Amino acid sequence: MKRGFSTKKYLIAQTKAIKERLSKFDNKLYLEFGGKLLYDGHASRVLPGYEADAKVQLLKKLKNLEVIYCISAKDIERGKIRQDTGLTYDSQALNEIREIRNQGLNVSAIVITLYENEKKALKFRDKLKKTGEKVYLHPKVAGYPKNMKKLLSKEGLPKKPFIKTKQPLVIVTGTGGNSGKMAVCIAQLFNEQSQGINAGYAKFETFPVWNMPIDHPLNIAYEAATADLGDKNIIDPYHLKYYQKEVVNYNRDIENFWILKKMIKAITLKDNYINQYHSPTDMGVNMVKAGIVDDKIVKKASKEEIVRRFYRYQQEYKKKQQNRKTMNNIRKIMKKAKVDEKKYPLMKI
């Protein structure tokens, strides 16, 4: 296989970027880790040469860190299943925590988020506690994140327990999307600030790649991977307005930025570097572009991945596991990428 990506080059650049961001704060950075931490199959397919365990390699290189693992009480209660593994979220969490530790990384705390007295969540907490785990319940705040008055009242952030951490870099990860990672980071910032520590927050997302064109097949492949969620790449309007530069982000981060900015302003001191985030892209530390060594190979692989996703959604649709909206989304994405599935018969699952 011809390489379009150098994991070695990427890891050097990515390690440096995270260390530089950490240096901006009082030796404490909460890094929200998006996507799959242990194994990133999508990245390895669209970036030939990307080693699927690159994130684990990255964390090992960074060294002085610990991991906070988040799982939503709502997902536990309804027995939500991860499509890629077929496991319920609570079982998935146990497997991932065990595997993260097998890699020599320290999972120092588990947080059950969005908690509203769910019985199964309490049962899960008790099960974990019996094995000696440090488990925290983070209650759901009514109106979060838009109700700032409630958030800053006694029933808001002060009610969330402070998770004591020892290492300067704290990785906040979880079972999947909407697992409450950002809310945990915000609560930690609030508690750190209460103790006079100017802690920081940043976001680690591999895709979309902010400093590559919005219509690059690599970024379009991200939309294909999330066609069922309806994620869309967008030119970051905040970044464009402040820096007069076009960079790529996605709809959910852009939609939530003004709320996040408002929260951060309310709970941190003016001299905290976090107040220099003028756009959702500023929050990120993504250095994927630094690892690309052959753009043609990456473009080809990304187009193949878009078609692979189409065939997968098509199969799921036939089994009634996917809806028409997803199929409409993936067809629009294929048109945007200028790919025709008939030219890629071997990508059929």
Residue 282 lies in a domain: yes
Same domain, 320 and 267: no
Crossing angle for the helix pair 217-225 and 324-337, nearest 10 degrees? 170
d(CA 274, CA 201): 7
CATH number at residue 264: 3.10.630.10
Residue 173 lies in a domain: yes
Farthest-apart Cα atoms in the chain, separation: 61
Helix (H, G, I), strand (E, B) or coil at 270: coil
Identify the burial level of 263 via C-beta atoms within 10 angstroms of its C-beta, where 0-12 means exposed, 13-18 middle and 19 or more buried.
buried
What's residue 347's pLDDT?
A: 61
Same domain, 324 and 250: no
What's residue 141's pLDDT?
A: 86
What's residue 257's pLDDT?
A: 95
Residue 221 lies in a domain: no
Task: Write out the residue range of the structural domain in which residue 14 sits.
Answer: 7-215+231-291
Same domain, 168 and 248: yes
Residue 303 above 60 pLDDT? yes
203 strand-pairing partners: 32, 284
Residue 222 lies in a domain: no
Residue 260 lies in a domain: yes
Residue 261 lies in a domain: yes
d(CA 293, CA 111): 39
d(CA 39, CA 36): 6
Residue 349 lies in a domain: no
Residue 349 above 60 pLDDT? no
Same domain, 186 and 275: yes
Same domain, 275 and 304: no
Handedness of CA 167, 139, 121, 80 (dihedral sign): negative
Handedness of CA 69, 74, 75, 77 (dihedral sign): positive
177: confidence class by pLDDT, cuts 50, 70, 90: confident
Q: What is the pLDDT of residues 108-155, one digit of tens each?
A: 999 999 999 999 999 999 999 999 999 999 999 887 877 888 888 888
Q: Domain count for the chain, please give it.
A: 2
Same domain, 300 and 287: no
Same domain, 173 and 27: yes
Q: What is the pLDDT of residues 325-340, one digit of tens each?
A: 999 999 999 999 999 8
Same domain, 96 and 137: yes
- Mean pLDDT of the region 89-115: 97
Same domain, 121 and 250: yes
Same domain, 285 and 299: no
Same domain, 243 and 324: no
d(CA 127, CA 124): 5
Same domain, 259 and 313: no
Q: What is the pLDDT of residues 14-47, one digit of tens each?
A: 999 999 999 999 999 999 998 889 999 999 999 9
Q: Peptide bond preceding 168: is omega within 30 degrees of 0, i.e. cis?
A: no
